[in-house]
Amino acid sequence: MEAMLEIAGVVTAYGKIEALKGVSLSANRGRITCLLGPNGAGKTTLMMTTAGVLKPRQGSIKLEGNELVGLSPARIVGNGVALVPENRLVFPQMSVRENLLAGAYQRNDSGEVAADVEQMYARFPRLKERREQLAGTLSGGEQQMLAVARALMSRPRLLLMDEPSLGLAPIVVKEIFGIIAELNREGVTIFLVEQNAHLALQVAHHFYLMEQGRVTFSGNPGELAEDEVIKRAYLGTRRSAG
């Protein structure tokens, strides 16, 4: 079982403040890897760095051996990596359908693209109902599904997801995680950042804990008692009680 994504020694800074102080982790092919940690740990920064929106000062990020650092976000999508960003970032004035087409921007096979759009409608029936509606008028859960569907339109080999459960009702969150598990069964490698440690541990094959810009723990679900993981994910190691 080889690593599909290898992040080594990544340092990303905002001006003088280092949000990532040397992060190393990997995500195996065909698996769901999860990154947990408290607010401010740097998880979104890591996602944005991997997706190419932020440029690291040091370190390397390799997809199946190919270096991604230095490539533009568009090129990284072209390499088969798609990010479902935190806060969804749908295009509010464009319809659901157009949002999906945007995700397929780099593809030249219009027939296949159309087929994929139908597939998304099948997977996400609520998107089909609203396909000509403006994305800004969708509910939070629907926007999340749209963001996932849009990312899938580029037929990524590696799907990055930043806090898919953020701000969503529990029923919707369960639905989203069901889709995550389903996608993984179909062969998509998933690297997932989550606040909801409980749910994350139910789908993850492997997880990391991150605090203050560094990875502090790496293991499989079960290696650490779940409530210990949750404590560390929300509060960090140094403040865990006695």
Partner 1 sequence: MIPFIQTTLDGLMVGSSYGLLALGFALIFGVMRRLNLSYGPSIMVGAYLGTLLYIQFGAPTYVVAIVAVAGSVMAGVYVERLCFAPLGVGAGVASMVSSFAIWMQLEQASLLMLPRHSYPFPSLTSSELLSLGPLVVRPDYLIMLAAMLAITAALHVLLYRTRFGLGLRAIVENSVAASLSGIDVQSTMLKAFALASAIGGVAGFLVLSANQQVTAMLGMWATLKGLIAMMIGGLGSIPGAIVGGLVLGVIEVHSQTLFGPQVRDLAAYGVLFVLLVLRPGGIFGTTAISESVGHRGGDRWTTT
Partner 2 sequence: MDDHLTGILSNIGVISFVALSAYLLLLTGEISFGQQAFFAIGAYTAGIVTAMWQLPFWLGLGAGAAAGGAAALFVGLPTLRLHGLQFAIATLAFAEAVRILFELFRYQVMRDGEPVGPNGIEGFPNIRYIFENDVSATQFMSIIYGLLGATLFGFFLLERSRLGVAFRMIGQDDLLAAAQGVPVFRVKLIAACLAGAIAGLGGGLYAHLTTYVEPAIFDVMLGVHSLAYGLIGGLGTAFGPLLGVAIDIGLLESTRWFAGYRMIVFGGLVAVLLIVRPRGLLDERLVHRIRRIVSRRPPPAPASATILGEESS
If the CB atoms of residues 3 and 47 are measured against partner 1, the closer one turns out to be 47
Note whether 141 binds partner 1 by CB under 8 A.
no
203-221 in b/e form (b: 16+ CB < 10 A) is bbbbbbbbbbbebebeeeb
Question: Is 185 a residue that touches partner 2 (CB under 8 A)?
Answer: no
Q: What is the x/- site pattern for partner 1, positions 195-224, by CB under 8 A?
A: x-----------------------------
Q: Position 215: which residue type? A: V
Among 17, 171, 225, 241, binds partner 2 (CB under 8 A): 17
By the rule CB under 8 A, 87 interacts with partner 2? no
Binding mask 4-43 for partner 1 (x = CB under 8 A): ---------------x-------------------xxxxx
Q: Is 51 in the site for partner 1 (CB under 8 A)?
A: yes
Q: Is residue 16 involved in binding partner 2 (CB under 8 A)?
A: yes
Q: Given candidates 52, 56, 164, 236, which one binds partner 1 under the rule CB under 8 A?
A: 52
Q: How many CB atoms lie within 10 A of CB 192?
A: 26
Q: What are the residues whose beta carbons fall under 8 Å from the beta carbon of 20, sequence distance 6 or more?
A: 10, 11, 12, 13, 42, 45, 46, 49, 56, 213
Q: Which two tokens stand for residue 47?
A: 């996602």
Taking CB under 8 A as the rule, does residue 183 contact partner 1? no
Question: Which CB sits closer to partner 2, 86 or 211?
Answer: 211
Closest to partner 1 by CB, 72 vs 202, is 72
Q: How far is the CB of 20 from partner 2 (least distance, A)?
A: 12
Distance CA 160, CA 77 (A): 11
Which residues would be at the binding site for partner 2 (CB under 8 A)? 16-18, 40, 212, 238
